[in-house]
Chains A and B, each alone.
Chain A
Amino acid sequence: MLKPEQQLDLATILGYLKEAPTPVRAPGWEDQGYWGRPVAQSHIRSIPSSPLWQSIEEVRPPTEYNTVLRHYVATPLYLPYPAGLSFRLRVDQGILDMNLLPGVDRAHAGGINQFQLVKQKLQVVITDADVFVMEVLNTSGVEQVVASAVYGWHYYDPDGELSGAGESRVDAGSLVEDLALRHFDE
């Protein structure tokens, strides 16, 4: 239970909140924070034919940062989509998606890519111990020009864990929940 002087502190804070607009920032995995850094990288690469998966995009969060990835582009630059070309997304050694949609262009029905390329949705949150890799496998026998991009942001989270894991997403927080709401709200 709060001591009287602690109650006074709490009341002070509440009164301050009443007086002033409360800055409530979205958590880093929802929106970029003050210390956030952007992830916006795209490449046009010529991929030689090879039986091996080749890395085309790689995202490593900086130290003490986590990374949210929201969009990606993975497509041959020019259509038609060649047989033997496939992409995959990987986090560390785990494959996220092997079956990326080939139609990442805006209107590929006519046989040509119309630009700009459509960004596909993605939701990946990784820590600074992880690495996000986009890979391409070109077994078509000829070189392929491939466009790839990843968009998102790094957010500062020195805990090194994915914030919010195992916590209720609706609680305002233990302090408010246990101390303030219980005794002061009616």
Chain B
Amino acid sequence: MSKNEPLFVMPIKPVKRTNNIAVDRELWTGVPCIVPRPGDQNLPDRQMQEGTVEPYPQVDNMDIDREMWTFYTDAPRREAPEGPPNARRPEVAPQKALPTRRPPFFPMFGERICPPYQCPGVWARPVHQIGADCLGFYETEYTLLSFNVPDTRLLLIEGIGYELQDALPVGEIFTIRVRRNGETLAEWQDIVAAADPNPVRRYAFGSFLNPVAFRLRVDRTQNVTISITVNGPLPFAKTSADPLNIEAKVILYGYLDQLRDTREGGQRARVAGPERGQDRFAHIPEQAARYLAAMPELEPYLQEKFDDEDMEQYYAEMGTMGGAVDVE
């Protein structure tokens, strides 16, 4: 490469000028005008001075909205009234003075919370309580787990699982009983159904990992016990004199929810709430006073006389309850 040879030769083709300055520039330079070249800015002016091209519109001078919406024909807006045919036709049904509307009564429904006896709340603690005991004899009931619910909590049991020592052979049937304050609420049988070392696959109905679905509410200060009785294989020939000597474990899954007395759908004080049958509405005057103190501007609306007839006329004229349309 010689010293005087240029690195890049711009291909310039001598072509006839057109009427379009953009085309001209392309043809004369042969390259897209990406890079601004000297003289580009005043090129139109210069050519305008020469009288060779017509000025093309500058963007700033264009009414873009008008250019884009030239096809649009403005039409008068027509309303489609809802409800009765004469609604909002003052020439047919003259509009009457509307009754005073109340202000909208903002959150009419508060947050929905689940009562603690149906699902755990924010402050609930999980419970996975394990009880174990050695079962000495057949046909003898052993209490594996006894759980006293504290004074400020409510226990919601969601499942009960159990495991027995592998020494208990296949075919042995045992009975689980659940008592609340001594009252038997459920009683079911299970069997060591397979000699699988995996305890999940060892029993027919329940295990630690697949507990028996068992929903029970145990209120504060109540007691729940889970007991087991090994009956032996079919037919039940074992007696309480037959020794057994295996270990059994039971687990209780559930929640200890903070106590809020929601019996009968109420939401009373958690610990010292009124008992069933007492006046559950004694707090309403206090609440009324509190409410009116917080929003005194609502009081005239609450005291206002308001009849059904007024509302019927109003709704008949409106056509529908919520169909208010802004009239320009």
Contact = CB atoms under 8 A, between A and B. Distances in A.
Interface in B152-207: 173, 178, 185-191, 193-194, 196, 200-207
B203 A23 contact: no
B267 interface: yes
A176 B287 CA distance: 19
Contact of B203 (A13, A14, A115): A115
Contact of B105 (A23, A38, A184): A184
Given A31-B118, A34-B217, A43 B189 contact: yes
A42 B293 CA distance: 58
Contacts, number: 183
Contact of B185 (A19, A38, A43, A180): A38
A140 interface: no
A91 interface: no
Interface residues of A, number: 57
A38 B188 CA distance: 12
Contact of A42 (B189, B207, B215, B294): B189
B108 A180 contact: yes
B101 A23 contact: no
Interface in B121-163: none
Contacts of B69: none
Highest count of chain B CB atoms <10 Å: which of A114, A115, A153:
A115
Interface in A26-54: 26, 31-34, 36-44, 46
- Residue with the greatest number of chain A CB neighbours at <10 A, chosen from B190, B294, B321: B190
A183 B191 contact: no
Nearest to B111: A21
A91 to B, nearest CB: 21
Interface centre among B106, B188, B290 (most CB of A within 10 A): B188
Q: What 9 pairs across the A-B complex have the smallest Cβ distances?
A: A15-B291, A184-B105, A12-B288, A42-B188, A186-B104, A22-B110, A21-B113, A21-B111, A40-B186
Given A77-B191, A184-B102, 18 more contacts: A12-B284, A15-B291, A15-B295, A16-B284, A18-B108, A23-B265, A25-B265, A33-B117, A38-B215, A42-B189, A42-B190, A44-B173, A44-B190, A114-B194, A115-B193, A115-B204, A116-B200, A183-B102
18 contacts: A7-B306, A11-B288, A12-B284, A16-B287, A18-B106, A20-B110, A21-B112, A22-B267, A23-B265, A23-B266, A34-B117, A34-B217, A40-B213, A44-B173, A73-B205, A115-B203, A117-B205, A153-B215
